[in-house]
Chains A and B, each alone.
Chain A
Amino acid sequence: MAALQMSREWIGIQQFPPATQSKLLEILGKFKEEDVSSLTVLVMGKGGVGKSSTVNSVTGEKAAAVSTFQSEGLRPSLVSRSRSGFTLNIIDTPGLIEGGYVNDQAVNLIKGFLLNKTIDVLLYVDRLDVYRVDDLDKQVVTAITDAFGKEIWRKSALVLSHAQFSPPDGLNYDLFVSRRSDALLKLIRASAQLKKQDIQDSSIPVILVENSGRCHKNDSDEKILPDGTSWIPNLYKTITEISFNGNKSIHVDKKLVEGPNPNARGKRLIPLIFAFQYLLVMKPLVKAIKSDVSRESKPSWEMRDSGSANRRS
């Protein structure tokens, strides 16, 4: 894998508090047990929802450039880190929305970037502190489905950022989280056209994330959510679960990038089609014209006089 060569030693892991480090190493050990040497995580979502910040948080490095007030270009970036023979690839993507529509070029660039890679986990990122689900969300989900197929949602998790958020008017935090995630999941199911059975088979897990430096920490200095869970190990745990959930990873090949080539469809039938057209359309048409000619109502003077030779009775 090309990404392997580019991978750097995962130094950032040492930035985590020891409690987190030990949990992560435990998870890495799991991969080793299963003889998996690398994991590729794709992070997608609208612009400004905290994709890059999440990448930075989970690597413990400033791997992805975060610019607070503007998008950082259209190119996706790969963060590849290896630790004791295991490589973690995280692909950060630019926001897909531009000028109120999904940017087709951005989608194409992402697809091109992912060519010949295998996506083990998709993290669909959105903010927790938003009340509504709108058409843009739908467009983004649809664009992802169109780009990688609906199968990708079986290998995905819904990441809600800005989790350290107090719901308005004394709404219960857990209730708000479930409402928010339900709304988004419903949208994903609709857009991805997952059947009921599919939903039962693999429900999409929800991960809460808080990237802010003001994130509360517990006694072991781990970043925690309002409910007290340490979210980074939790995220890794969920990722691991997804990667082992039995569904196939999505391999991005040429066919997937370019989509089905409509120009190739039916190409082999062309000689047959042409023969059909010649024999069953053009010939009958010419025949019909000829019969028109013979049936044509001629002016009476043309009919009357057949020439002296014929009239010599």
Chain B
Amino acid sequence: MATFATNGQLTTLPGLLTTPYQLSTRRKYPAPSSSQELRYNAPPASPRFPSLKYCYTSPNRNTEPSSKDHLLKALGKSLVFGSISSIFSGGGGGGGGHGDGGVWRDLFSLATPVAAADEKHSPDWDSHGLPANIAVQLNKLSRFKKYKISDVLFFDRRSKTTASAEDSFSEMVPIHPGEAYTKAQLQKELKALASSGMFEKVDLLGNTKPDGTLGLTISFVESMWKSAERFRCINVGLLTQPKPIATDADMTDREMIEHLRSQEKEYKRMIGKARPCILPGQVQREVMLMLKDQGKLSARLLRRLGDRVEKWYHDNGYGFARVVNFGNLNSKELVCEVVEGDITRVVIQFRDKLGNVVEGNTQLPVIHREIPKQLRPGHVHNMNAANQALNNINSLKVFSSVEINPRADEKNEGGVVVEINLREADQKSAEVTTEWSIVPGPGGAPSLESFQPGGSVSLEHKNIKGLNRSLMGSLATSNLLSPEDDLGFNLEYVHPYLDGVYSPRNRVFKTSAFNSRKLSSVFTGGPGFEDVVPPMLVDRAGLKANITESFTRQSKSTYGLVLEEITTRDRNFEISTNGLRLLPSGGTSVDGPSTTLSGTGIDRVAFLQANVTRDNTKFVNGAIVGDRSVFQVDQGLGIGSKFPVFNRHQLSLTKFIQLKRVKEGKSKPQPPVLVLHGRYGGCVGDLPSYEAFSIGGPHSVRGYSMGELGAARNILELSAEIRVPVKNTHVYAFAEHGNDLGSSKDVKGNPTEAYRRMGHGSSYGVGVKLGQVRAEYAVDHNRGTGAFFLRFGERY
């Protein structure tokens, strides 16, 4: 009996959003200077301090239009969108550059573009007022003039060459040709360069140009150190930096040596205390190789090493990691000091619609348990961990917007504060949906009359007591014109954190009152007998209470109690005690197999239900790969009509075998997959016909209609499918078999034989997957005829 219905329903997809990841210059990183050290300076063009923000905003489901985001409105009812809010660091960082002073006021501030920006707004400049093409010392320049710089050249005095572009010294000097600078500014830049540790000697020369502008030549002798044999990377993130003692010009040589020695000791102690970096050995070895290739350690080499180390961090999601210093120069072991970005605090804040911090309803432990360990204080901030936290928190379905916003810790140099901003969704919501469904009209094909308007009303009270408990009620009918025919209701209460919110165990208690109406696939005719067997409806109404323990996102175990009342009805909704058959004379025979255990058409039963699902499947470029095993048992307790005692069980095993290794990644092709599936179902004890296992149908043996092959006490289904990727989707071929194992006669009244069914059958066919739709041609092996089918969703 092929009923198929399409729903033209608008759904609100809680899809995954791309996480906006933003970097902007925010803070400078200070480091002590020492004669032994090289302060490492990142190119100003690249972000010095990233500000990361992860947001997750789910479409607001409120009925209240005012609460909807304007974007939402614009995009219509059902769209997924990501909100990107950026943090403008403004001039904060740059402004600080002036105030910091002291040691900090070094190359870092020099490299900050904002620092130079102060003067940018003055377009005016003064001519140098000197004859053209003469070299001018920096100190010969006038203090009162603004010089326009036409070009900047770097001259390596050692090799007597102009530094090539790839050395990118220019990145270090924020003097841009075409702009005007005062003498003081230029002096400042020079001083910064000199103190950067990269140069043994550095000089700035002006070159007067005929047009009144000034060309700059920075001549330098690069610092060189003895080559190191070993490389060590340490995290200096939260270490208290040793205070450099200002060297006194009046110090005697001895005092000077003493001073250096004490500094060296201090430094040794510091790196001894420092934690090793998370930099993997492979990268460390790579850096070692870079060291070995070059005989001597030049400043430029150090720069490259630093770049390499930082690149690894940034590629792996450690957005806050910086190489701040190279220490232990001129010794055997080169020490690379990294501030990795240790998390010092995690702050959870609730915000209202206007962004004000408010007191939240949700209890904090509920959120805490969703934060991965790696995003807690003491760990290095990682974007992936933040993303996972974002997804986890969002999957609570309690918040309409989730933002994770890591920022530098003002109180703790090198620390990162993870700020989690949450906007709680409305606790109470109501929803009304309507839909059209197509039901087969007379003759099977849908006609105009067979379009039915349906609808549902649902009410929800979420996040009760801030512990994500929820109460849901819904009322649905597929035919609004006569809802009494088919009224479904469901009232559900969900109580998570059964073992307490602090327990790592994830058990959820759920209880529900429900009803459902289904067309029985037991009372259906075999080939040539389809029109003789009128449909039988099985109504179920009852209560259910169960506990679900989730081990992973997919694997779980459930056990609980079910109380049900089952009523079997004919198509006029009259209670039916026996299967029906239309007689050739036009009458209806009511001598079929009895529909219920009690024989009255109404059964009441209580039983235990347990289910264990082990699901290792994962997606490889969109193709599902892995194993899935499901075992379910219904254990009758002798409570109910005729005191039913039974053990009804089914085991289904599905294997998705990847046949070829493929590279994983977006828009990479899917691997070919072989699917093997087996299902066994059996029952010992009292078996009413509505619980018999039916064979045939899109989820049993394709190519047959639901129950076309029979209804039995024990069944075995075997199927295999091979999927071959074609472009973005796949085509497949399958073969399936279903068998009643001779147990049809063990169902009271033998519905398989009473309705002339085979009890077993095979089919094979081919198909193509088009989005959610499977279009397939299946050959029914019993008759040898094929048919074309369109199915929604997956077979396995």
A binding-site residues for B, Cβ under 8 Å: 99, 103-105, 108, 262-263, 265-267, 269-270, 273-274, 277, 281-282, 285-286, 288-290, 292-293, 296, 299-302, 304-305, 307-309, 311-313
Contact = CB atoms under 8 A, between A and B. Distances in A.
23 contacts: A99-B584, A104-B591, A262-B747, A270-B635, A273-B647, A274-B633, A281-B612, A281-B631, A282-B633, A285-B612, A285-B631, A286-B612, A288-B614, A289-B552, A289-B612, A301-B316, A301-B374, A301-B382, A305-B380, A308-B342, A308-B378, A309-B378, A311-B235
Given A104-B754, A262-B745, A302-B374, A99 B583 contact: yes
A302 B372 contact: yes
A301 B382 CA distance: 8
Contacts, number: 113
B379 A305 contact: yes
B519 interface: no
B691 to A, nearest CB: 11
Interface string B721-755: 00000000000000000000000011110000010
Contact of B589 (A105, A301, A304): A105
A274 B378 contact: no
Given A262-B745, A301-B316, A270 B646 contact: yes
Contacts of A311: 235, 275-276, 278
A282 B591 contact: no
Given A99-B583, A286-B557, A305-B380, A292 B589 contact: no
B744 to A, nearest CB: 10
Nearest 3 interchain pairs by C-beta = A105-B591, A262-B746, A308-B378
A28 B731 CA distance: 81
B552 A270 contact: no
Given A262-B713, A273-B684, A288-B614, 17 more contacts: A104-B591, A263-B597, A266-B685, A267-B684, A270-B635, A270-B636, A274-B633, A277-B631, A282-B633, A289-B551, A289-B612, A290-B551, A304-B278, A304-B316, A307-B378, A309-B378, A311-B275
Contacts of B555: 289, 292-293
Contacts of A265: 684, 746
Nearest to A304: B278
Interface in B260-295: 275-276, 278, 280
Contacts of B746: 262, 265
Interface residues of B, number: 51
Interface string B644-681: 01110101000000000000000000000000000000
Contacts of B385: 301-302
Contact of B591 (A108, A288, A289, A293): A108
A308 B376 CA distance: 10
B316 to A, nearest CB: 7
Main secondary structure of the interface of B (DSSP, over half): mixed
Contacts of B317: 301
A286 B376 CA distance: 30
B616 interface: yes
A265 B589 CA distance: 30
A269 B629 CA distance: 25
Nearest to A271: B647
B686 interface: yes
A286 B646 CA distance: 24
A129 B196 CA distance: 123
A273 B636 CA distance: 12
Given A108-B591, A292-B616, A296-B552, A312 B275 contact: yes
B321 to A, nearest CB: 12
Contact of B685 (A99, A267, A281): A267
B384 interface: yes
B633 A277 contact: yes
Given A99-B584, A262-B687, A273-B647, A282 B557 contact: yes
B226 interface: no
Contacts of A282: 557, 610, 612, 631, 633
Nearest to B756: A101
Interface in B364-405: 372-374, 376, 378-380, 382, 384-385
Nearest to A261: B748
A307 B379 contact: yes
A292 B629 CA distance: 13
Given A263-B687, A305-B379, A292 B614 contact: yes
A300 B314 CA distance: 14
Nearest to B343: A308
B614 A301 contact: no
Contacts of A308: 275, 342, 378-379
A265 B278 CA distance: 65
Most B-side CB within 10 Å, residue of A274, A289, A296, A313: A289
A266 B552 CA distance: 37
Interface string B592-635: 00000100000000000010101010000000000001010101
Interface in B90-133: none
Contacts of B629: 285
B275 to A, nearest CB: 5
A282 B373 CA distance: 31
A286 B612 CA distance: 7
Nearest to B635: A274
Contacts of A288: 614
A283 to B, nearest CB: 9
A285 B653 CA distance: 12
Contacts of A313: 275-276
Contacts of B342: 308
A129 B263 CA distance: 127
Contact of B649 (A266, A277, A285, A307): A277
Contact of A270 (B591, B645, B745): B645
A106 B646 CA distance: 31
Contacts of A269: 684
A51 to B, nearest CB: 21
B653 to A, nearest CB: 11
Contact of B684 (A266, A290, A293): A266
Nearest to A287: B614
A289 B235 CA distance: 38
Nearest to A146: B745
A263 B685 contact: yes
B686 A300 contact: no
